[in-house]
Amino acid sequence: MKNFSTVGRRLVWVTLFAASAASSAPLVCAFRADAPDQHVVVKGDTLWDISGTFLQKPWCWPTVWGMNRDEIANPHWIYPGQIIWFDRAAGRLRLGQPIAAGANDAGAQRLSPRVRTEGLGADAVPSIAPGDIEPFLTQPLIVEDDELSNAPRIVATQEGRVFLGKGDKAYVRGALDGNSAFQVFRPGAPLKDPVTKQVIGYEAFYLGTMKLQAEARPGAGSDVHTFSVTTAAQEIGKGDQLRAVPPTPLQNYVPHPPAQPLDARVVAVYGGVTHAGQNQIVSINRGKLDGLDIGSVLQLYHAGATVSDSTAKKGWFGREQQVKLPDEEVGSLFIFRTFKHISYGLIMQVTAPVQIGDVAKSPE
């Protein structure tokens, strides 16, 4: 048996696992025919790349490790310098030194991914390249209807200024719900569900951040809070709205299929364009309440067009039969930030431009 190491990143085209979305068939995880015996983890590796080195489907990673849902969410568990090896007899990946031929299994290292106790998280291998998503982890914003209507708003500025900069005061009305740090945003164009045509949210313009200086004291005759601008990415002014700064989401969630069958549509391509390619961001019309979590992987398809079948027998009044063509697979999508009904995803691979209305779904 050969022993060799693989370094660097390798992205592979992946296929859907063989289970109907309506069935409970187990996930089928196939190893690549050219999978190495071992891989030495190096700086710059990602979980997606490493899993693609061994597996036909990178989101099969949790299955070949035997991980449960809690372990999938563990953000710090593989580090540069560790060895991942392929136990071909068991059809599993393991962490540690490879078992020599004929070695006693009881004496071999068979370690599972685990939390490192020193330097926690400093060098942990991320799920995907952090630079691709870092600007999107806390902003820009997707604001849903109920948040928009109840969001605190700037009602006046220091000395009546038109625009505010760092350190300037702003006066705000609205419920703070115990929060003191806020993002400032301005609602953008509405995001419409491609299927229902209903508005499901707004992709808001991120303007900066503000910090509470003095909370309103209704007993003193005022319901206005005093804030100061801490950062200003764009001009901030009267009428702009506030949203509590969200906790920074964990970045190392393991790539995995959704916990339940899911059928979504691409709502928007970030940046206001109509088409997207590899490593671009799109939003879809499904979120936390639909069972999506960070690290979920979906497959992207162009929706099949409905066309006339001129070869079939005509119907009433000579009308041709209408048939829907199959959806065409075009790429895969890694979900890295979820809202209630909308999620951001990074296009991992693509064979054709992704466009608004395209299908994003769990395996069939």
| Domain map (residue ranges) of the chain | 38-132, 138-244, 263-361
Whole-number Å distance between alpha carbons of 327 and 348 = 19
Q: Is the pTM of this model over 0.75?
A: no
In the chain, pLDDT over 70 holds for what percent of residues?
Answer: 81
CB 230 within 8 Å of CB 119: no
Whole-number Å distance between alpha carbons of 224 and 271 = 35
pLDDT at 364: 62
Whole-number Å distance between alpha carbons of 30 and 327 = 24
Window from 31-45, 83-97, 127-141 with minimum mean pLDDT: 127-141
Whole-number Å distance between alpha carbons of 246 and 244 = 6
- Burial (CB count <10 Å: 0-12, 13-18, 19+), residue 107: exposed
Res. 342 pLDDT band, cuts 50 70 90 = very high
Whole-number Å distance between alpha carbons of 75 and 69 = 12
- Burial (CB count <10 Å: 0-12, 13-18, 19+), residue 100: exposed
CB 199 within 8 Å of CB 190: yes
State the residue for tokens 């109840």.
150
* Best CA proximity match to 51, nearest among 343, 287, 257, 282: 257
**Given a cut of 80, is residue 253 above it in pLDDT?**
no
pLDDT digits (tens, 9 = 90+) for 145-171: 778 888 999 999 988 899 999 999 999
In this predicted model, which residue has the larger pLDDT, 319 or 146? 319
- Burial (CB count <10 Å: 0-12, 13-18, 19+), residue 34: exposed
Give the CA-trace dihedral at 122, 123, 128, 129, to 10 degrees.
90
Name the token pair of 320: 């041709």
Side chain identity at residue 271, one-letter code: G
State the average pLDDT over residues 324-349.
Answer: 90
**H/E element holding 54?**
helix 47-54
pLDDT at 132: 74
State whether CATH 3.30.450.20 applies to domain 263-361.
Answer: no
The one-character DSSP state at 47 is H
- Nearest-5° Cα angle at 28, 20 to 335: 75
Whole-number Å distance between alpha carbons of 13 and 157 = 53
CB 280 within 8 Å of CB 331: no
Torsional sign, CA 281, 287, 292, 298: negative
pLDDT at 185: 94
pLDDT digits (tens, 9 = 90+) for 16-26: 222 223 334 45
Side chain identity at residue 344, one-letter code: Y
State the residue for tokens 């005061």.
169
In this predicted model, which residue has the larger pLDDT, 257 or 146? 257
Res. 230 pLDDT band, cuts 50 70 90 = very high
State the residue for tokens 């961001």.
281
Strand partners, 184: 208, 242
**Given a cut of 90, is residue 359 above it in pLDDT?**
yes
pLDDT at 109: 46
When the pLDDT of each residue in the chain is averaged and rounded to a whole number, the result is 80
pLDDT at 184: 95
Side chain identity at residue 101, one-letter code: A
